[in-house]
Every structure is written in structure tokens, then in C-alpha cells.
Structure 1
């Protein structure tokens, strides 16, 4: 009987650990993302006017260099990491994307290597820097279905007219969704730039967990909403409550199995 008790206890402990793993992993990702975006915001606020002007010039120079470049599927091969400015590159994060409808608030990194896309959203090299501007078109890629990190898992829920915002060294820019397309990876290409529009396209794999196609959600820049913000979907309070709930259920099962419940 004692041996059976130990088996029950071991199984319950393993079950609790399996349940808690994605919760803890999600919390770690949220904490890391929050720290990265907070550090980036502090950096942006610390930039002197003369340095900001220099950054703007270097971004414009980079955007000009992308005019005749082609782009490829970010999930088939990692994109080369570029460097706009030594000081900006030193911070790793180049921006932040906020999608209120699906509770996304994630840092944007350079390139789309697997390592980059495991921790946040990646900017596709060969497309405009995600700082906005008439005649630019940036593309940002994110994974779906990663354990503990939502990223672009719910991107398919966006509809025409929904909005998302991108925060960079040039401030906060808001975009309204104007098109949603599904394509094959080998059909991935950059559309000709529109000299009269400021566009941003969000890219992820689809269908969920099958990943045979690519979902492209494109927005055009609209008037900024200075108050745009969201609450992150899972806070430490929910983690604590979930953990307590799991442990209570596990404890009840344990007592029932080893005879705490007397007839």
C-alpha cells in the first residue's frame, strides 16, 4: 500500500509540474518582454535632439537602400541582421508592437532568425525600418503556437478596420488594417512601394500548428492615438491564483487516493 501511495504522489507531482510549466514559461517571457520594452522606452526618451536627427537620417538612408531589394519567406531562412546605428544596435530591441484587440505587446528585434523569433517579433531585412514615413512599407514576423509565448498566435482574429501600433525611435505610429491575405511561402514577395502611403505588414504562419501558408495582415498609417496601450494578458496575480488552484485540486486528489476521505 505504501508503494502505491508513493506512486500516486509521484504522478500527482509530475502532473502539477506539467500544468505549471507553461504558466511559469509564459510568465518568464512576459517579464523578459516587459523589461526589454521598458529599457527601449527609456533609451528613446534619453536620446538628445541632435542624436535623434542623426538617427532619422540613417533610417532614411537605410530605407532608400531597400527600394530595389527583394524579400523572402522569413520562416524558410533567417534574415540577415542589419545595423542602422551602433547605439541603436547596442540595445538589441528596435521597437515595440502593440495590438490591443488580441492583447499583444511585444518587442521588435532585428532580423528573423529562429533565435530572434523565439523571443519576440522580427523585422524583415529588405523592408523599410518600422519607424513609418510616406513611401515606406515595413514587414514584421512573429511565431504562432510557441509554448509560453503568445506572440502572433491570435493574428488571425484581426479584421479589416482593426488597428495596431508600432513604437520606435521616431515615436508611436498607428495603422489600420486594410487587407488580409493568405499565401504560400514560395509566393512571398514585397509589393511595389506606394509613394502616397505608409504601410506595415504583420506576418505569421497559418493554419495554426500546420504552418503550410503565410498570413499577411497589412495596415495603412492613420492618426496616432497617444493613449494606445493594453494590459498584458497574464499577470503575476493570475499566475499565483492558477498555481494555488492547481495545488488545491492536486491536494484533494492526493487525499482521496491515499484514503484521507473516510467512509
Structure 2
């Protein structure tokens, strides 16, 4: 009987040790599956750009998701205060997405990034992919297209190495048969409630904004990488 208990404890210990690696393997497999399943004919699939209250609410949800905060906690009160009274319930239904099909692939050669992009920055979507904030502009269009991803602790996973990007570095986003080549022009660290990073370029240029947490451990701010469209390859 004692031997059986000992064997059981050993097995449980091994399972506890192996679970993180198994989970990481599964999520990496999901990432690869998305990359392989991208439909080359996908050219749009974006929601219409919504009014400011919806964008503010989505950014608040993204901020919470990036920190993996429990549902009972809320760090986005300042953003809530910017949403007109009575609008929050009206726009809440737009904060989720059922899409599990990648709409794009983001590639950054400098940090060896090759990551699928899903539509809608939900907790599920951001578990193993980057996510396009559906209330921002479509990728490649005039305006500001925002993409968020977790700052995973495993080196090279998701936006883990985004802090290595420098002004002048290229970011390529493939959408269907088109490749949008952006050039990084600004890097900043902001508070989670700073929604100014989602503003459109005053000259209405095509801008890409990448969003993740900072620092890597116990994040308190957001690392923002902004880039302007330099070239479109058909």
C-alpha cells in the first residue's frame, strides 16, 4: 500500500513538472496551425471602424487581457470615464469575436518573428497569436491599425522580443496576396490608460501600432512600437 502511494506521488510530481512544457507545446502547435491555414485569398474581413466609445472599450479590454487580470479586477477606470454615459452596455457586445481564422501574418526579421494575426483582441485569440483591434483601421489602409500580443516569458514567443525593435526597423504584415512593409518611426512606454497611441496620423498616413506589456515581469506600462507604411508589395 505504501509503495502504491509512493508511486502515485511520483507520477503526480512528474505530471506537475511536465505540464508547463506540454501546454507550451500545444500553444506553439496552435500557432503553427494558424500560419499553415491562412487563406491566401483573404484580403479584408475587417469590421467597420467604430465610433470612439467602442475603440476605448476595446482598448480597455486589451489592457486587461495583456495583464491577464482576473475578471473581478479592473485597471481601466480612466478609460471608462472617457466613454459617454450609457454607451458601455451598448458597445459591450462588440468586444468579442468568434473568428479563429488568421487574417494576416506579422513578420519582423530582426527578432525572427513570424506570427499569425487574428481579428479581435480577445483572451482566447491572444493566447497563441497576435490580434488586430477590430475597432481600429484595417491593416494597410490610411489611419492607425493596432495589433496587440502578450509579452510571453519564453524567449522569442509572441511579442517577447518586441523591446529589441529600434527606429528604422522594418515590420512586414502579409494580408492575403499583399505584403505591407512598415518602417518603425517611434517607440514609447506609456501607461495602460493612455489611448493616445491609437490616434490617427494627422496627415492620414497608414500607421501600424504594436502593443504589448512592459516590463516583462509584473508589467505596469505598455510598450508601443509605431511604424509608417513604406511600401505595398502585390
TM-score computed with the length of structure 1 as normaliser:
0.62
CA deviations over 1:183-234 (Å, ceiling 9, x no partner): 11122232233444211010001011111001100011113578xxxxxxxx
Q: CA RMSD in A?
A: 3.8
Tell which structure's C-alpha radius of gyration is larger.
1
Query: Does structure 2 retain, via aligned residues, the 8 Å contact 1:79–1:124?
Result: no
Return the structure number with greater helix share: 1
The alignment partner of 1:34 has SS state of helix
Alignment of 1:237-252 (within 5 A): none
> Corresponding residue for 1:34?
32
Alignment of 1:1-263 (within 5 A): 21-40=19-38, 43-45=39-41, 55=44, 62-63=48-49, 65=50, 70-71=55-56, 72-73=59-60, 74-76=62-64, 80-81=94-95, 92-130=101-139, 132-133=140-141, 135-145=142-152, 150-169=157-176, 171-189=178-196, 190-224=198-232
Aligned partners of 1:79 and 1:149: how far apart in 2? 34
TM-score computed with the length of structure 2 as normaliser:
0.69
Unpaired segments ≥5 residues, structure 1 = 84-88, 227-263
The alignment partner of 1:93 has SS state of coil
Unpaired segments ≥5 residues, structure 2 = 65-75, 77-91
After superposing the two structures, state which structure 1 stretch, 175-184 or 65-74, moved more.
Answer: 65-74
Q: What is the total number of aligned residue pairs between the two structures?
A: 204
